[in-house]
């Protein structure tokens, strides 16, 4: 029988007599939501839309972008900008979505499709067992970048995360 990292923490802590078992982002945490909508009117290619902030220690659960048919050849990247724990500027414009097709028809595209694209990542977390996005206590600003042409129409984003 094998244990997940989280269950092994429980086993180890019980054996040591510790009472606190796991962080709230691993069990019994409350799900929070961040939502943003933007109405593009011939928004030029390479334009960046600031969507919302995600707080320090937030574990990313799921997210999606909903959109109109915003224009021929238009794709969308969703990522972040932040300040690292060491104080340096950091960004990854396509961390959460890389080249999402928003041109062909109105629809919905998943964010965080894989761990490499942010699924279960922790914003600035300090737990070495987690995949962390390096940031200071301010968290990250989530951004969307329009690529391939001018965009006209509604672009909305929703992210579910656990922080406490």
- CATH number of the CATH domain containing 109: 2.60.120
Does 1 reside within a domain? no
Domain residue limits at 103: 30-162
What are the pLDDT tens digits along the chain (164 aa)? 888 877 787 777 777 777 666 676 667 788 999 999 999 999 999 999 999 999 998 989 999 999 999 999 999 999 999 999 899 999 999 999 999 999 988 999 999 988 888 898 889 876 666 678 888 889 999 999 999 999 999 999 999 999 88
pLDDT recorded at residue 29:
81
CA 62 to chain centre: 8
Please tell me the total count of domains within the chain. 1
Does 99 reside within a domain? yes
Does 7 reside within a domain? no
Nearest CA among 76, 73, 94, 98 for reference residue 148 = 73
pLDDT recorded at residue 1:
82
Does 3 reside within a domain? no
Does 87 reside within a domain? yes
φ and ψ of 8, to 5 deg:
-65, -35
Does 2 reside within a domain? no
Mean pLDDT computed over every residue of the chain: 89
**What is the total residue count of the chain?**
164
pLDDT tens figures, 102-148:
998 899 999 998 888 889 888 987 666 667 888 888 999 999 999 99
pLDDT recorded at residue 25:
67
Does 24 reside within a domain? no
Does 55 reside within a domain? yes
């Amino acid at each position: 029988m094998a244990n997940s990292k989280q269950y092994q923490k429980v086993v180890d802590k019980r054996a040591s007599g510790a009472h606190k078992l796991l962080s709230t982002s691993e069990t019994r945490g409350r799900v929070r939501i961040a939502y943003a909508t933007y109405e593009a009117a011939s928004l030029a290619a390479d334009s960046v839309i600031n969507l919302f902030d995600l707080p320090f220690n937030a574990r990313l659960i799921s997210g999606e972008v909903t959109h109109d048919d915003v224009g021929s050849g238009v794709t969308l990247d969703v990522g972040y900008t932040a300040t690292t724990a060491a104080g340096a500027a950091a960004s990854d414009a396509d961390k959460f979505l890389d080249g999402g097709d928003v041109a062909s028809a109105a629809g919905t595209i998943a964010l965080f499709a894989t761990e490499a694209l942010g699924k279960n990542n922790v914003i600035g977390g300090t737990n070495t067992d987690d995949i962390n996005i390096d940031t200071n206590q301010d968290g990250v600003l989530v951004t969307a970048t329009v690529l391939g042409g001018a965009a006209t129409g509604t672009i909305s984003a929703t992210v579910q995360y656990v922080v406490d």
